[in-house]
Amino acid sequence: MRSVAMRVVVISLLAAGSTRCLAAQEIVDRIVARVENDIILLSDVRALSRYQQLLDGTSETDGQILDRLIDQWIVRTEANVSRFPPPTGSEIDRGMERIQKSLGSAEEYESRKKLYGLKDQDIRAMVVMQLYLSNYLDSRFRPAVRLEPQAIEDFYRNSVVPRAKARGQAPPSLDAAREFIEEALMQNGINGQADQWLKESRTRLHIEKFLDTGAK
């Protein structure tokens, strides 16, 4: 959600072949984008790809991930300038717990970590950055989002009721679902405003890409 260009590179160097492996790493890792005076590396793209695969079993294309990293750079830079506070330890712990629970079991979590070459500290670093960025966007745009009563009723009728029926459940009342609906609409509003801000911010920045966006 690093600095945006998170330096998460897993390198295994065997004692007998460290020079050869290091040379190979230098060839593989390269600059894939410049944003103002900062850079994003191919290893940053690979790190986020592995994290996405851990969570979802798949990942976006390299081009999509690079665009996401550029957006993260914009948000991180703005948050740093405003001296936005980092997430608390309890927030980070809850984020780690959510990831483990989403994978079903501790065994599956450990299995996926091994499969995608990640360690707990790698995952925790991603969680910290995601929380930092999402907390900043929430604080910046939430006050400007206005929820209309009609939008709440429409969401209830078009989303909550059909979803409950599809599960064979009785739909909750509008009052019972109101808090959930309001937060869902609030997040939609925050996302919409953030997307527009990011598009406008990109036009004011010097951004160069050196990645074949068709690559996976």
* Residue 42 located in a structural domain: yes
Q: Give me the CATH number covering residue 85.
A: 1.10.4030.10
Tell me whether residue 59 is in a domain.
Answer: yes
Strand partners of residue 39 = 34
- Above 50 in pLDDT, residue 24? no
Across 107-116, average pLDDT? 95
Judged by DSSP in three states, 2 sits in coil
> In sequence order, which ranges of 62-211 are alpha helices (DSSP H)?
62-81, 89-102, 106-115, 120-141, 149-155, 161-166, 174-204
What is the Cα–Cα distance from 107 to 57, expressed in whole angstroms?
Answer: 15
Give the separation between CA 191 and CA 130, rounded to whole angstroms.
Answer: 14
Residue 119: predicted pLDDT: 96
CA torsion sign, 119 to 11 to 131 to 147? negative
Which residue carries 């996401």 as its tokens?
68
User: What CA–CA distance (Å, rounded) separates 198 from 24?
Assistant: 36
pLDDT at 11 over 50: no
In this model, does residue 159 exceed pLDDT 60? yes
- pLDDT for the residue numbered 28: 67
How many independent structural domains does the chain possess?
1
Backbone angles phi, psi at 38, to 5 degrees: -105, 165
Domain around 124: 15-145+202-209
Residue 93 counted as domain residue: yes
Order the strands of the 31-35 sheet from edge to edge. Answer: 38-41, 31-35, 207-209
What pLDDT is stored for residue 212 in this prediction?
74
| Cα separation, 142 vs 152, whole angstroms | 17
In a domain, 150, yes or no: no
- Specify the pLDDT at position 211: 87
pLDDT in tens, 80-103: 999 999 999 999 999 999 999 999
- Give the pLDDT of residue 183: 97
